[in-house]
Amino acid sequence: MTLRFDWLRRIYPRTKLFFSPLPFAIALFIFVGCSKKEAEVVPEVSVQVTPAKTGDVSRIVTTEAVVFPLQQAVVSPKITSTVKSFAVQRGARVRKGQLLAVLENADLSAAATQSKGEYEQAEGAYVTSTASSIPEQIQKAELDAASSKAAAEAQKKIVDSRRELFQQGALPRRELDAAEVALAQAESQYQQAQKVLDDLRRSGKEQAVKSAGGQFNAAKGKLLASEAALSYSYIKSPINGVVTDRPLYAGELATANQPLLTVMDNTSLIAKAHISQTQAAGLRKGAEAEIKIAGQDDDPVPAKLSLVSPALDPGSTTIEVWVQAAKPPESLRPGMTVQVSITAATAKDAVIVPNNSIFQTNDGANYVLVAGSDNVAHQKTVQLGIRGVSETQITSGVSAGESVVTSGGYGLPDKTKIKIEAPEKSEDADKSGDKADDKAGDKADQKTTGSSDKKSPDKSGKKPADQSKPSGPEKE
């Protein structure tokens, strides 16, 4: 190794210098080694920490859903006829039973009138049959029976008197036989009249009433059928709501069982969503929920979980849930795609830490890094409870008040020297701070301006000079 000492020769030009390079090399090596030992410093990682706290945390199920009305009616006519007139327009609010449209019904009205006449005729015949004919027949049979009985009794007296005369020898046998024959005929007529009377009393009236009643009921049924057919031409709303669709115009043909109008009850809306079995675990009817309308900065709409399907959809193997908004705003409309958030479970007074402070080992164990008082990160295995949107419940492993690493802890080994930094301010906080400063500055400027305006003029009557303008040329 050759070292040059030109600077010594310039100082001592006449002196011959003889140096050995070995001592200088050893000294240089020792100097470099010592400097490296002095430069070795323990690595220190900058992190941000947040203390574990006690509070409430909820598991939130968030998914997309489609809004539907709780009640909707697609009104279809039962008959095929031309639309005579519409009583409402699209967007009109209607009540249950309100007339919506009228179909052509001249033929149906004529049929109803004819049926009504036939009904009235049958009703009159029924009243006549029950009130007049049957009693007259019974009365006639009673008279016939009474006269036959009287004739039979009179003939019997004749037979008795002739029998006495015959026994006395005053009357021939032929007269007595003729009287007995007449008596037998009279008794036969009496028995026949009595039987007719008994039959009328027993079944004649009942059968006559049935016959007249059958004709009356048939006429009544025909009348009701014609009135029902006529009523089908008057289309009425089955529910309270708003007319959302009216595809036909007056004069067009309305086909039976085809949509004529659509009425929706938009006072109570539901958001239907399909979620996985894992997300549906723990969901209960009546759970708190909210609906967020996409593209709008309005506050979420408060709602409740109204339905959890008891069976899975066989096609998608998902579970259908309904989130109902009791008082939906006007901005929430049927058919919209929204985001729903359902509170599945809540833990009260639990130890919670931020979600970004929880890490996993290669074995899948959860752990956090606790910042000790010695500025060293200590790895602690934890058991998790309810996982919320931004915070997670810790059931064991960390106590409230311990500082956990939230930033800079990913992949950080255990017992690493750390340096705790203050969290950076978000842009929103900076903007709000700037706005506050601007407002404070504006208020101070207003106060200063107001006080300067209130100053009295100089005694000499001269106005104070404007100090904002330079009094002379400025020197560079």
Note the pLDDT tens digit of each residue in 271-326.
999 999 988 988 999 999 999 998 887 789 999 999 999 999 888 899 999 999 87
Q: Please check whether residues 356 and 329 belong to one and the same domain.
A: no
Q: Please check whether residues 323 and 358 belong to one and the same domain.
A: no
State how many domains the chain has. 3
Whole-number pLDDT of residue 12? 46
Q: Does residue 323 form part of some domain?
A: yes
The bridge status of strand 319-325 relative to strand 376-381 is unpaired
Collapsing DSSP states into helix, strand and coil, what is residue 54? strand
Q: Please check whether residues 120 and 180 belong to one and the same domain.
A: yes
Rounded to an integer, what distance in angstroms lies between the CA atom of residue 398 and that of residue 193?
113
Note the pLDDT tens digit of each residue in 95-120.
999 999 999 999 899 988 989 888 88
Adjacent-strand bridge partners of 269: 69, 325
Final residue of a structural domain among 289, 320, 346: 346
Note the pLDDT tens digit of each residue in 368-415.
999 988 889 999 999 999 888 889 999 999 999 999 999 888 888 888
Q: Does residue 406 form part of some domain?
A: yes
254 with 77: CB under 8 angstroms? yes
Q: Please check whether residues 179 and 118 belong to one and the same domain.
A: yes
Q: Please check whether residues 147 and 196 belong to one and the same domain.
A: yes
Q: Does residue 410 form part of some domain?
A: yes
Whole-number pLDDT of residue 472? 38
Note the pLDDT tens digit of each residue in 219-276.
889 989 999 999 999 999 999 999 999 999 999 999 999 999 999 998 889 999 999 9
Gyration radius from the chain CA atoms: 56
280 with 321: CB under 8 angstroms? yes
Q: Does residue 353 form part of some domain?
A: yes
> Is residue 461 pLDDT above 80, yes or no?
no
More confident residue, 31 or 462: 31
| Backbone dihedral angles phi then psi of residue 152, each to the nearest 5 degrees | -65, -40
Q: Which of 29, 73, 50, 106 minimizes the C-alpha distance to 371?
A: 50
Which domain covers residue 393, as residue numbers? 348-420
Q: Please check whether residues 306 and 207 belong to one and the same domain.
A: no
Whole-number pLDDT of residue 321? 95
Whole-number pLDDT of residue 388? 87
Whole-number pLDDT of residue 224? 92
Least confident stretch, 31-45, 51-65, 183-197, 338-352: 31-45
Out of 21-35, 167-181, 392-406, the most confident range is 392-406
Q: Does residue 186 form part of some domain?
A: yes
Rounded to an integer, what distance in angstroms lies between the CA atom of residue 183 and that of residue 196?
20
Whole-number pLDDT of residue 180? 85
Rounded to an integer, what distance in angstroms lies between the CA atom of residue 56 and that of residue 383?
17
Whole-number pLDDT of residue 448? 42
Task: Sort 413 into a burial class: Cβ within 10 Å, 0-12 / 13-18 / 19+.
Answer: exposed
Question: Average pLDDT, stretch 361-365?
Answer: 89
Final residue of a structural domain among 329, 346, 363: 346
Whole-number pLDDT of residue 411? 84
Least confident stretch, 22-36, 58-72, 253-267, 377-391: 22-36
More confident residue, 165 or 306: 306
Q: CATH no. for residue 300?
A: 2.40.30.170
Q: CATH no. for residue 410?
A: 2.40.420.20
Q: Which two tokens stand for residue 272?
A: 């239907």
Residue 130: band (very low, low, confident or very high) from pLDDT cuts 50, 70, 90: low
Residue 42: band (very low, low, confident or very high) from pLDDT cuts 50, 70, 90: low
Q: Which two tokens stand for residue 145?
A: 């029976």
Note the pLDDT tens digit of each residue in 179-198.
888 888 888 888 888 888 77
331 Cβ partners below 8 Å, 6+ apart?
293, 296, 298
Q: Does residue 30 form part of some domain?
A: no
Q: Please check whether residues 124 and 190 belong to one and the same domain.
A: yes
Q: Which two tokens stand for residue 146?
A: 């009474």
Q: Please check whether residues 111 and 227 belong to one and the same domain.
A: yes
Q: Please check whether residues 116 and 225 belong to one and the same domain.
A: yes
Please provide the average confidence, as pLDDT, over all residues in the chain: 80
Q: Please check whether residues 171 and 184 belong to one and the same domain.
A: yes
* DSSP state letters, 376-422: EEEEEE-EEEEE-SSEEEEEES--TT-EEEEES-TTPPTTEEEEE-P
Final residue of a structural domain among 316, 346, 376: 346
Q: Which two tokens stand for residue 466?
A: 């404007």
Q: Please check whether residues 226 and 331 belong to one and the same domain.
A: no
Q: Does residue 203 form part of some domain?
A: yes
Looking at the chain, the whole-number percentage of residues with pLDDT higher than 90 is 39
Q: Does residue 452 form part of some domain?
A: no
> Is residue 8 pLDDT above 90, yes or no?
no
b/e string for 152-189 if b means 16 or more Cβ within 10 A? beebbebbeebeeebeeeebeeeebeebbebbeebbeb
Q: Please check whether residues 112 and 225 belong to one and the same domain.
A: yes
> Is residue 64 pLDDT above 60, yes or no?
yes
More confident residue, 316 or 451: 316
